[in-house]
């Protein structure tokens, strides 16, 4: 098995090879065609619900546009604390110069992603959908903050990557939408590789010092955090902007829909299996 340093060296070479200027990489059209799909319909959060079934194709396409904007906003809000947390840990938690070299690429690429998503939202929507969080401190075991941080990194990256891979190859979508998704995916594939390795290393270094209750508490939190992250995909503000009369009821319907639950479970499969393989979870949980 490769060490974290070996993984970092390999990923650094790849980041150098695929280095790009985010301000010139993409060709942005003036407008997006409202008669086209801008998000793969199967990924729209209400897909499979009664609300979706009752919508016309034009309404579904309008919703798909706002869903895409909601999805990009969600990644933006996920990447902000990621940049913050990684900046905090570089040269403090991590001292290996090869790993640090890759962390610099990681930060550079995350900043580019934020510029890319922000650029999309500025051009075509004129706003970023806000997140609705209030920071609360919770009681943590020694070193748990670092384990939780890298676990959160993976949640953001792996869930969004599932969507990016599908939309990056979906010919129904405008080229700019495919390009933004694919550009993000190409970088994120490396970030996920690194994130999985690093999370495993931090977990194996930290969790043996925890009591069984602390390990159990962390595992419970991790599943709850994954469920909470999924709930963020169901945004009433998106539904309101798409013209739905009762955005809260639409969200509740999607959260309790069996079709939507199956989608969440399937989209999380690789991510959850990796958590089991690395020992963070004991078995793949059934998501809410």
Partner 1 sequence: MSESEVRRQLRDWIVNRAKEKPESLSDDTPIMENGILSSLDVVELILFIEHIRGDEVDTDSLEPESIRDVNAIYQTFFGV
**Helix ranges (DSSP H) in the chain:** 4-17, 22-25, 50-54, 57-89, 97-124, 144-168, 175-206, 212-231, 236-241, 247-256, 258-277
Number of residues binding to partner 1, judged by CB under 8 A: 19
List of residues 6+ apart from 168 with CB closer than 8 A:
178, 179, 181, 182, 184, 185
For residues 76 and 175, what is the distance between their CA atoms, to the nearest angstrom?
Answer: 21
Tell me: does residue 27 bind partner 1 (CB under 8 A).
no
| Binding letters toward partner 1, positions 91-130, x by CB under 8 A | ---------------------------------------x
CB of 269 to partner 1, least distance (A): 22
| Nearest to partner 1 of 122, 132 (CB atom) | 132
CA distances to 26, 92, 225 from 84, in Å: 26, 13, 19
CB of 142 to partner 1, least distance (A): 20
| Nearest to partner 1 of 75, 180 (CB atom) | 75
Task: Report, in angstroms and rounded to the nearest whole number, the Rg of the chain calculated over CA atoms.
Answer: 19
Question: Binding residue for partner 1 (CB under 8 A) from 189, 193, 232, 284?
Answer: 232
Question: Binding residue for partner 1 (CB under 8 A) from 95, 138, 212, 286?
Answer: 138
| Nearest to partner 1 of 30, 136 (CB atom) | 136
Q: Which of residues 168-227 bind partner 1 (CB under 8 A)?
A: 221, 224-225, 227
Q: How many CA atoms lie within 13 A of 36 on its CB side?
A: 15
CA distances to 7, 153, 164 from 93, in Å: 18, 16, 30
As a three-state string, the secondary structure of 207-229 is HHHCCHHHHHHHHHHHHHHHHHH
| Nearest to partner 1 of 85, 168 (CB atom) | 85
| Nearest to partner 1 of 170, 232 (CB atom) | 232
| Nearest to partner 1 of 141, 176 (CB atom) | 141
Structure tokens at 226: 């994954």
CB of 138 to partner 1, least distance (A): 6
Tell me: does residue 236 bind partner 1 (CB under 8 A).
yes
CB of 222 to partner 1, least distance (A): 11
For residues 174 and 160, what is the distance between their CA atoms, to the nearest angstrom?
Answer: 19
Write out the residues near partner 1 by the rule CB under 8 A: 130-136, 138, 221, 224-225, 227-228, 231-232, 236-237, 248, 251
């Amino acid at each position: 098995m490769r060490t974290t340093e070996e993984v970092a060296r390999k990923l650094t070479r790849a980041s150098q090879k695929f280095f790009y200027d985010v301000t010139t990489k993409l060709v942005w059209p003036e407008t997006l065609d409202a008669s086209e799909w801008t998000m793969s319909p199967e990924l729209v959060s209400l897909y499979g619900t009664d609300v979706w079934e009752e919508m016309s194709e034009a309404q579904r396409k309008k919703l798909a546009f706002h869903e895409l904007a909601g999805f990009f906003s969600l990644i933006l809000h996920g990447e902000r604390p990621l940049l913050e947390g990684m900046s905090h840990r570089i040269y403090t938690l991590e001292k290996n110069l090869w790993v640090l070299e890759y962390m610099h690429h990681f930060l550079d690429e995350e900043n580019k992603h934020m510029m890319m998503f922000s650029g999309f939202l500025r051009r075509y929507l004129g706003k970023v959908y806000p997140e609705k969080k209030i920071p609360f401190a919770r009681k943590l075991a020694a070193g748990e903050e670092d384990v939780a941080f890298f676990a959160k990194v993976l949640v953001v990256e792996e869930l969004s990557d599932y969507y990016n891979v599908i939309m990056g190859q979906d010919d129904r979508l405008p080229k700019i939408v495919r390009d933004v998704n694919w550009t993000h995916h190409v970088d994120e594939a490396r970030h996920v590789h690194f994130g999985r390795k690093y999370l495993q290393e931090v977990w194996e270094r930290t969790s043996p010092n925890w009591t069984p209750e602390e390990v159990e508490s962390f595992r419970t939190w991790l599943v709850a955090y994954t469920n909470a992250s999924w709930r963020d995909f169901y945004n009433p503000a998106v539904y309101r902007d798409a013209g739905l009369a009762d955005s809260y009821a639409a969200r509740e319907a999607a959260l309790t829909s069996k079709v939507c639950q199956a989608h969440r479970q399937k989209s999380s499969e690789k991510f959850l299996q990796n958590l089991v393989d690395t020992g963070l979870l004991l078995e793949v949980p059934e998501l809410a």
